[in-house]
Amino acid sequence: MAILKIARMGHPVLRSPAQPVKDPTATEIRRLVQDMAETMYEAPGIGLAATQVDVHEQLIVIDTSEARDQLRVLINPEIIWASEERQVYEEGCLSVPGIYDGVERPSRVRVRALDVEGNPYEFDADGLLAVCVQHEIDHLNGILFVDKMGRIRKEFFKNCLY
């Protein structure tokens, strides 16, 4: 296993959209999942998207458990339903260290993805898990949470962000 380098905001790789994983059971994907999990736990973080480690495939790892023992692997994830109800949650990002701010997103989502065996599965998420899944899927689309801040907040963080 290996600790991967996490790209920081300003690096163009963070803006590159990810392509679907063609063979979820390929050896390179299994190795990437292991390396991303190790990188996320070591950071430490509660999620990591392949985009952040300069791999442009639709792959996410998440662990929002307190014990840090419930790894979720999401290959080719899609949000198939989002609640109209929205919540503001304080977010951080391993690619934007030191900046935390409230972001408004749907409170609950239903997610479809493939597991490491290539089998489709679905789950409902709320609270921190819902926030984290949406944050990570944004990464796969080249979107950072700071893009969702208002102009005044961006101005406030200007010296830290650029």
Q: Annotated catalytic sites, by residue?
A: 136
Binding partner selected for residue 106 from ligand K1U, Zn ion, none, CB under the kind-specific 5 to 8 Å limit: none
Interface with ligand K1U includes 14 (CB under 6 A)?
no
**In 3-state terms, what secondary structure has residue 6?**
coil
Which residue number, 71 or 118, has a Cβ lying nearer to Zn ion? 71
Which one of residues 58, 76, 95, 107 is an interface residue with ligand K1U (CB under 6 A)? 95
Contact range with ligand K1U by CB under 6 A, out of 23-31, 93-101, 106-114, 118-126: 93-101
Which segments of the chain does DSSP mark as H helices, in order? Answer: 27-42, 127-140, 151-156, 158-161
Burial class (CB in 10 A: 0-12, 13-18, 19+), 41: middle
Ramachandran bin of 123, using left for φ above 0, alpha for ψ from -120 to 50, beta for the remaining angles: beta
Cα separation, 138 vs 136, whole angstroms: 5
- For residue 75, the partner it binds in ligand K1U, Zn ion, none, with Cβ less than 5 to 8 A by kind, is none
Residues at the interface with ligand K1U (CB under 6 A)? 44-49, 91-95, 131-132, 135-136, 139
